[in-house]
Structure 1
Amino acid sequence: MAKRTIQLTATDAMVGHNPHTEKTKSTALDLPDDGFDLDSELGEEDFSQTITAEDVDPETLKEGKNEIALPLGRNGADVVFKLVRIPADELAKRVTIHPDNARVKEYFTELDRLEAKKMISEEGINVYPALGTFNKQNNLIELVDGFRRSQGCEAGGYDFQVYVSYDSINPKRASSLSRNANLHVGNGLLEKRHALKREIDSKHRHHELASQRAGNVDNTKKLSQSAIIKQLGIPRADYYAAIQSFEVSEKVWKLFPSPATLGRPSINTVIDYFRICDESQLTESKKGKLLNEEQRATVITTVSQFVAQSNFAVNEIAPKDANTATIKFFSKTCSQLLKESNPKVSDNVNTLPDNLGKVTTKENGALTIELQTLSSESMSALMAQLQAMIEDAN
């Protein structure tokens, strides 16, 4: 089926002008040049349609047209979005995040807000309106794309522009658009994992249905992890980090100054110490790194104090740098607790009289004997020491 081009339609002239929008860096709807197929992602075969950077022209969005149309309705039907301008001091009571937004509101910290404010003031990213829907039940605008900009505008005192639909939109299309519109921003793995888990569950369901239709008796057998990874087309390391991260309590991830920007190595470090899982599936070395409940509580308290005392936001430390400092402290604290709970047995050294030599008992029970000189005097002292050690052992 031929692709249908998405048209942006203008009904009115631009409304207002923001003095902070002179620069033109795009962060909203900055889609891949070759587009992405919404329905292919959603597994819908009855409609094929692609949104491209050409179709949703950032320069067109920059013009602030009062009305645009996007194919986010049922079966790709156009939905009308109207431009709304919201003062910074009204954002908190009028705007929230859409359930299908790729971002996780709880992971967006004060440090991230300040970083967004900085980007808006220095790079002018607010020139491109966000995208949202109006929820008639709570009277809030729910952002499908542009949550980061809303936080930066609120922190910096800038007006916020958003295209709002007052009609219903297809949730899966909204989720797909949000993920693809944020490819250039690079949502963190902790944010991506939720969408990834939904995709994995969906692929298992489709596999089971296909097996039933084909008359496969063993229709309850799920796809292997290797098959899932191949279908998703993601690095194996990302897959396992994302899935295993669910074995760690949410409050642990929220310890970090910016959970949304935590990298995979840091996530794996936390998993090694804090995962709660079937330990029979772990290697001995992995088991040896797991903290017990008391140790985990100590780490949570200690790291919380470290982050609070570091004043990352006050000192305007970049989110990734703040995370780096915190993961180093986190690792050091965990390692120290493990050492204290598994103290290494020190060598037991017995020195012979007149420094004639020494007898050392190693950690594994082996003995080593050192004599300064081989003489009747040193041999006599050695025999006496050995006899004393035998008597102590008995």
Structure 2
Amino acid sequence: MNTLQLSIYAMALGLCAFTGLLAWRASFRNRYFLVFMTLLVLMLGCDWLMHHPSTPLKNLWLVILMASALLVGPCALLLANSVGNADLHINWRSHAVLVIAAWLLLTPLATSIHFGTEFVNAAAPVTKAYAFFIHTGMSLTVGLFLLQTLWVLRTCYALLQRRNVQNKWLFSELADPGLNLLRILVLAIVINAVVSIAKVLYCALLDGVYMPINIVISGIHLLMAIFLASSYISLVVGAQGKAEAIRQTLFKPEAHPTTQSDTTASKNFEPSSNSNNKTTAELTGKQQALLKQIKAAMDVEHLYKKPSLSLRDLCDHLNESPHNISQVINESDLGNFYDMVNSRRVALASQLLQQNPQRTVLDIAFDCGFNSKSSFNSVFKRYTGVTPSQYRA
């Protein structure tokens, strides 16, 4: 058991160091990932020390473990907010009050710390009344932890919605490493809550059967670290760098000066809805000229056929800034970048499906700019209500 757990701990530590180095060198604000990974490794280490038979100060490791678990949520919010480039208004004072209150409730447990290798000090056992006081404090801490988890998940959901909206402005496909990272982050918060509560319950009720349980918990922590690390690496390196640079340019705080609350931010994020779209006559002369260039690139040059087309590609093609092009698209009848591209892809696909019954659906999908049959089916059904095969039948 010890060798296996030490190996898991070493792997998690290596992941933390590698992804932490990437986070520190990243050009955008994801250094919170280093803190988040460090917290995971710290909790894993405390878990190992707490359950190792010959390790003293059991209650100390339990206090540190519970105190660290309360920091995972706020740290996850910092990371999610920076990944989404959403600058969502978060009431940090309320989060701080909740964390401090939970830490104070751990004070009775902290007073029971001793150098023995068991949770209970056999040499100087506490009274039943004080033991009840300790367990009550731990239970209330768990309650506050659950409240914090629900609060954080609600805010992360708003951030997920914002990221989805941003992607429709930037990409012709909604697959996005940053969105995957946010989803896995939400999953990590849920797993952290379940595992942390399980640890407290096992310490209180099942201290004698820790061996297989502890290995499972360590493995879950490692898997969580692996998924988070792989998603983060996909976001930081490769072709995503340029896309994230554009995202920061378009969605930096100055572009959205209005402060929004946690609950209403996701609903009010889009700066221009269909009802606010301008007609061609309402656009300035420069904007009308740029709109003609964009439509020519789509309808004459058929740029939409390029797989994984992004706003960055259109900017390079027209030699224009992302801000100007995004503004014209979103203030015109084009809607947003995602709809502008995919509505044309679907229109072309509809024609090809009817005119070329001998060709396969996959061949037509590739001709229209889709990367896979699954994405083609999903987008086609979204715009027409039926799958390509049903449309052809």
> TM-score surpassing 0.5?
no
TM-score (norm 2): 0.23
Of structures 1 and 2, the one scoring higher in RCO (CA 8 A, sep 6+) is 2
Larger radius of gyration: 1
Higher share of residues assigned strand = 1
Choose between structure 1 and 2: higher helix proportion: 2
- TM-score, reference length from structure 1: 0.23
